[in-house]
Amino acid sequence: MLRRLRKAYPGTRCPLLCRTPWELMVATILSAQCTDKRVNLVTPSLFEKFPDVRACAAADPEVFARSIRSTGFYQNKTRSILGAAKALLEKFGGEVPACLEDLVTLPGVGRKTANVILGNAFGIPGISVDTHMIRINRLLGLTRNADPVKIERDLMELVPQKNWTEYSSLIIRHGRECCVARRPDCPRCPILEACPFGRARGGLSGGRRKNLKFSRRNSET
């Protein structure tokens, strides 16, 4: 699956524009209930006005909220980001910690955001379970759970640790481009053969059915 996803979505990486772990944390908090495209439109001027943790900790909440208004839920996001900046100054010397247990103590940072930061800012593999990851891994039969923490544990057993961040990014991209909620494009899916849902739906074309039989025969020998 990893090989096929990599081939289908070359160059996949975190789509949020950022230069530091702190910027990635801000962008990830802003991306809740918002598109990455919208976040990337907002963050360049935001990071100019509030360039670092210290500037955010000292920011006027109303001014900050105005700058991120178009990302939605801006009052909550303002509370989270300014709260996280203050907590970083108080507890971590103003630095974003490279540790999941520390990250999840910050306002607005759950396991999903923490794993995005670990994987993409520090190169520490992490499985981030968002709505695409929940839906697609259930369709693929890789988990029966609906709780993100349990899904994360199931996937940690199945996906090689060094590929955790890559797998999350690829599945999220797959969820945006092909396995879209309510109308998955199974006939075009690069991992159709591995997907019980897609196969039950009859997503295999004649040629792909023949290849599947062939690869099954080979794997049995």
Q: How far is the CB of 51 from ligand SF4 (least distance, A)?
A: 41
Nearest distance from C-beta of residue 212 to ligand SF4, angstroms: 12
Strand, coil or helix: 199: helix
Residues 166-195 that bind ligand SF4 (CB under 6 A): 178-179, 184-186, 189, 191-192, 195
Q: Please work out the total of residues on this chain that contact ligand SF4, with binding judged by CB under 6 A.
A: 15
- Residue 29 or residue 192: which is nearer to ligand SF4 going by CB? 192
- Binding residue for ligand SF4 (CB under 6 A) from 21, 108, 119, 198? 198
Interface residues for ligand SF4 in 124-143 (CB under 6 A)? 136, 139-140
- The whole-angstrom separation of Cα 191 and Cα 177 is 13
User: Least distance in Å: CB of 25 to ligand SF4?
Assistant: 30
**Strand (E) or helix (H) holding 42:** helix 36-49
What is the DSSP secondary structure assignment for residue 34, as one 8-state letter? S
Choice between 24 and 192, CB closer to ligand SF4 = 192
The catalytic residues are: 112, 130
Q: At residue 77, what is the residue type?
A: K
| Residues of this chain that bind ligand SF4 (CB under 6 A) | 136, 139-140, 178-179, 184-186, 189, 191-192, 195, 197-198, 203
